[in-house]
Each structure stands twice: as C-alpha cells, then as structure tokens.
Amino acid sequence: MRLPLYKNVTVEEIRLISRSARLRRLENADFNPFMLHSKDIAIDLLTDSGTGALSKPQRSAKEKGDNTYCGSTSWRNLELAARRVLGFPYVIPVAQGRVAEHVADFVMIKKGSIVPGNAHFDTTKANIEVMGGIPVDCTISEAYATEPLFPFKGNIDLEKLEMILKKNSRRIPYVLTTVTCNQVGGQPVSMENIKETSGLCKKYGVRFFLDIARFAENAYFIKKREKGFSRRGIAGIAKEMLSHAEGAMMSAKKDALNQTGGLILLRDEDLYLKLQPYGVLFSGGIQYGAMSGEAMETLAVGLGEGVQDRYVEQRISQAEYLGKLFRNIKVPFLEPIGGHGIFVNAGVWLPHIPWDHFPGHALNCALYLSDAIRAVEVGSLLENRDPKTRQNRRAHWELLRLAIPHRLYDERHLDYVAEAFQRLSTKRSSICGVEFIYETYPMRHFTSKFKLV
C-alpha cells in the first residue's frame, strides 16, 4: 500500500440526509443541482475550482494578509511568486478566470473577431460571443475518437489553424490553447503542439495565449507521455510550456490551489497598459483585483505548492483510481484519463435519453437522488444555443464530469462514488431526461429551471 501524501488536521463531518429529503431538495432546486445547498450534499464533485483544502503553510500565510488598497505587501508577494513560477513579467490580478477572459476580450475582441482554440469551455465561449466574437474549435479529430487512446487529445489541429490564419489573420485578436482542455475531458496538450501553435501565430502576426487553469496537470502529462521530459520536474516543464505564449489567463482556483482569485499574465508592456485599467473597472484595484490580502498570500504559496512533483502525482492518481473502479463496473468514461476528474459518457450509458433531453444533467439529478453526490453536465446543455439561430448546439459527447477537489477527498470517498454508480447501473432505464421550464442566457446551466420528461 502506498503511503498517503496527507494527514487530516482539520475535519468536517459528512451527513447523509434521507432519500425523501433529497427528492424534496431536488424539487425545490427545480432539478438544477447548482441550486442545491452544500449541507445537503455528501460528496461534491461539481468542480475542483476553489473547493480544495488549504495547506498548513497557506493558512499560516493568511496571517500576513495586508489589505492596503495600493502598495500592499501581499500584492508584492503574489506578483513575485507569479513571475517566479509562471515566468511572465506583467501581472494583472482579477477575481477569477472568467473575469480574466472578460477583461482581455473587452479590449481585444471586436464584432466579427475570430478566436481559434481547442474546444472553448463555457465561460470562454460566452465571453467571446457576448463581445460579438466567434469561437472556432480547432481541436484535433482524435479528441472525439474512442480508439486509439491518443495521449494528447487537447492538441490544436495545426492544418486547420493555419487555414484559418491564412484567410482571417486580421480578424483574429489571439489564438487560445487551454491546458488541460476541460471540454474534451481534461485532456492535455503536448509541448510540441504548443511550440508549433506558437510558431504559426508568429508567422501570421497573431498573439498566442494560454488558458492555464490546470497548467501543472498538463505539465505532468508532458512528463509522462512526451519523449524527452521523463526526468524533468513539473515546475521546469510548466515554465517552458508557458514560455511559448505571449499571454495567459488563469483561474487561480485550480492548479494554483487557491479558493479565489485569477491572473492575467503578459509579456507585452503595451498590451498590459491597455488591459490594466479594465481590470480595475471590472474586477478591482490594480494591486488586488477583488482578492483580499489573505487570498493573495495563500495564492502566492499555492502557486509553488501546485507544481510540486509529489503533489501533482497524487492528484492525478485519484482520477486514475476512480477510473479503475469504473472500468470494473462497466461505467463508460472518456479515456485516456485526464487530470482533474472522470468524464462519464452519459449519452452511451443512458441511450434511451435523447441528446436534447440532456443525459448528463439527467444522470446528475439521478446520482444526487440516489446517493447525495453532485457532479456537473458537460454536453449539449453546457454548449448553449447558437447566438444567431437560437437553436440548441449539439455537443460531441453527453458527459457527466466528476471533478475531484484538490486535497479534499481520499480513496474511501471515491469508493463511495463508484458504489453509487454500481447501484444506479441496475436501474438506468428508469432515469428520466429533463426539459426547460425556464431558460437563462448566456450561461444557462447555472440558473435555468427544469422538469423531468
């Protein structure tokens, strides 16, 4: 047996309410698990964003929090840590990743702009479209194939990208590569693909940006799957990966192991000076960006902890462990396993539910009702409607994402999740699809209301 990486210092009791109580909670939430209360959830796999446990050094760092509006020591500590770990000279603090996207897109995107990338996630796509831009998916075709198990399914299709750059370079404010790529199952992008994408952007005079919410996990997969990196450390691989980009947008709530915050990172001083005032307008002061002094201190520590080899290996091993359990009970999920969780193929597991009755969301409701576990749909519900035709966009996969929070659960919790799926497997045919009774725009999955079909 492998020695666990952590021991529990602070604990929180898990309470399991009755099935009848869970049904009432689900009805009161209009069958939208986003609206459930945390006290009514036993295992919460909705997201790994800001839901993990802080380390002892992070809790100690909180005590040094300096909330001075400008000139804060905490901001200086964060800025230096970001430069040291991530390698960008210019740093703009923001509230979280989607605010980084909004600030950047507000300045760089005009109506009709095109933003090529690898399977834009929900907030990324929405921020682009709200500004009148057009996100264009340039993910490789292997991302959507079940066989063979391609090691870097998050890669950009370079031929497709070059075709778009040739025709539209003046309409492209930046090309975006997300590492790892959440929309296709937390799949990584190879160092070679990042270098070649960067080279194409330079060739056509277009900026190359990275979304680095899960940059350390991506560096881990480069270490394990790409030739020439097996003996290198995660921190060094990550820094080389980021060196090929002119800018980056970061949610600090994932691999930076913080509970709030985000960053915009730049090499171009002129672009930095253009974006900085809008960071103030949309998020907060130029030296805090809606983060408290305490949050900036914990982020400064978390940036370093998040690239430690032992930690990242333990992080990925949890997803691999849950995947092994699912294989044993024949639950279909996307492979190879990505970094931050398991993506169950609800469309395959629940073939009786049509795609526009959202099998992933239906399975999420059934999972909560059965065992008080919450996850999130990543499929046609999350894809939203086409902004012009207003028709539902159909996803490549109808998925239920089980995102594992950082340093929060151990293998016994994951055993409980697998047992819940085993119980559900005998009554899959009774799981109902859902339809809207109230639909919101542009981020409909957070606040819409549903009924069972």
Does 445 qualify as catalytic in the annotation?
A: yes
Longest dimension (CA), the chain: 61
CA 434, CA 429: separation in Å to the nearest integer?
14
Does 69 qualify as catalytic in the annotation?
A: yes
Does 213 qualify as catalytic in the annotation?
A: yes
State the sign of the Cα–Cα–Cα–Cα dihedral 193, 194, 199, 201: positive
Q: Which residue type occupies 9?
A: V
Which of 121, 174, 333, 358 is an active site residue? 121
Does 56 qualify as catalytic in the annotation?
A: no
Rg (CA), the chain: 21
Does 81 qualify as catalytic in the annotation?
A: no
Strand partners, 341: 403
Give phi and psi for 15, each to the nearest 5: -120, 140
CA distances from 48 to 20, 150, 239, 259, 410 (A): 28, 25, 23, 10, 14
DSSP string, 211-258: E-TTHHHHHHHHHHHSTT-TTS-HHHHHHHHHHT-SEEEEETTSTT--
CB atoms under 10 Å from CB of 109, counted, come to 22
Q: Are 395 and 386 in contact (CB under 8 A)?
A: no
Which of 40, 48, 105, 122 is an active site residue? 122
Does 40 qualify as catalytic in the annotation?
A: no
CA distances from 36 to 268, 369, 440 (A): 43, 12, 18
Which of 143, 213, 245, 366 is an active site residue? 213
Does 106 qualify as catalytic in the annotation?
A: no
Which of 223, 253, 254, 361 is an active site residue? 254
Residue of 363, 419, 367 lying closest to 379 (CA atoms): 363
Which of 48, 105, 157, 211 is an active site residue? 211
Give phi and psi for 428, each to the nearest 5: -60, -35
Which of 21, 34, 56, 69 is an active site residue? 69
Residue entry with tokens 């330079």:
202
CA distances from 335 to 3, 38, 142, 380, 398 (A): 27, 30, 11, 20, 14
CA 8, CA 228: separation in Å to the nearest integer?
37
Burial class (CB in 10 A: 0-12, 13-18, 19+), 307: buried
Residue entry with tokens 């404010």:
173
- Residues labelled catalytic: 69, 121-122, 211, 213, 254, 445
